[in-house]
Amino acid sequence: MSAALHPDTVAVHSGRADLTELGVHALPIDLSTTNPLPDIERGGESYEAMATGGRPPADGSMVYARLWNPTVARFEDALAEMEHAEAAVAFSSGMAAMTAVILAQTASTGLRHVVGVRPLYGGTDHLLGSGLLGVETTYCHPSGVRSAMRPDTGLVVVETPANPTLELVDIAEIVAAAGSVPVVVDNTFATPVLQNPLDHGAAMSLHSATKYLGGHGDVIAGVVACSEETAEALRRVRAVTGGLLHPLGAYLLHRGLTTLPVRMRQQQENARQVVQWLIDQPEVDEVFFPGLDGDPRGILERQMRGTGAMIAMRMGGGYAAASAVASSVSLFTHAVSLGGVDSLIQHPAALTHRPVPADARPDADVLRLSIGLENAGDLISDLAQAFASLGARNSSSAVAVDAELAGSWSI
């Protein structure tokens, strides 16, 4: 596809190059678990090619769905194009994707030291520190990456915007500090619409595709955009460990990509309006959102194309206030995950970051909001009535919402 095309167009048309040849317009779903073999020799050659990370030969067979599936491959091609990558490899979950990255890198180099740049998603932080994958992890903040590097360091793991406090990390600076060691960036919060880590030197861009890529809370998946060489290593891990993505999930994700730019723009605008309201509320001590600090290091301007739609807030009443608000919302759903069309609220310290050691865990007074596609005024009204449950304001003032937002029904 032409590099001159706008990203919105790429989102709609990527990964569909073979549809005309197939004579279809909508994405087909191939649910086959096994495939006919042309003959023993070509069947065996096909198996070996894919089991070692390659693609199915043109005159061969896809053999078995653990090795290759065309529906999954179309989604991978689409995501790779959106991420400005040579290839992408999809997995059954974001954690399966991160596990494959770690296993592939340590297996290919024999280097078993990892630098984890905090804050990270709680599951990633826990995986790196668990010892389950045979790696030793040194945790640090972005400024400490260079000093954390060792001769046996094989991977640097970073997330930006970070989960849950939305801290921005300069990817190019991390890459420079890592030297020849590959850097994997969790790009889940930003999505390829707002950020392309490989353009800033990262070796891999990883997504929990469950979130914004799918966008509707009905599929669990992970995907890594990278070079073809790295993709081959990741496919080998996927083939051996069985962390494959089901074709129906790949179909839903590929369809989700077509509306991703539109969703991200509106969710981002909704988040901006919610943030502007939150910063004036006496119940909130601090709001975490990219750019609120004026972007003094220029990371937002240099690295991203927008702020995203995630918000974190520190409640003035501590854990008790955070718990009360999470339990009092009615339009927001009190649930983990993020990035869907409906808005969610959750308490990171008690849930997604519960396995993280106490000294690195988010504070107990912090709530995380994933802003969806609802009317921003309605979301603000819901938060206002939840704040009223804290008793800090009388009920009449607690439900007061900016008239412009409350009355904004235009699309």
Q: Which of 121, 139, 212, 251 is catalytic?
A: 121
Q: Is 212 a catalytic residue?
A: no
Q: Which of 16, 112, 211, 235 is catalytic?
A: 211
Q: Is 170 a catalytic residue?
A: no
Nearest to 285 by CA among 237, 321, 336: 321
Calpha distance 97→101 (Å, rounded): 6
CA within 13 Å, CB half, 298: 3
Task: Classify 355 as helix, strand or coil.
Answer: coil
Q: Tokens 């709001």 belong to which residue? A: 287
What is the full DSSP assignment across 361-406? SPPTTEEEEE--SS-HHHHHHHHHHHHHTTTSS-HHHHT---HHHH
Q: Is 319 a catalytic residue?
A: no
Strand order in the sheet with 344-346: 284-288, 310-315, 366-370, 344-346, 333-334
From residue 290, alpha-carbon distances to 41, 167, 188 in Å are: 56, 7, 15
Calpha distance 224→83 (Å, rounded): 10
Task: Classify 168 as helix, strand or coil.
Answer: coil
Q: Cis before residue 36, ω within 30 degrees of 0?
A: no
Q: Which of 42, 66, 146, 272 is catalytic?
A: 66
Cα angle, residue 72 at apex, residues 48 and 70 outer, rounded to 5°: 65
Q: Is 280 a catalytic residue?
A: no
Torsion angle of the four alpha carbons 106, 112, 115, 116, in this order, in degrees rounded to the nearest 10: 70
Q: Which of 77, 186, 365, 382 is catalytic?
A: 186
Calpha distance 123→346 (Å, rounded): 15
Which residues are marked as active site? 66, 121, 186, 211
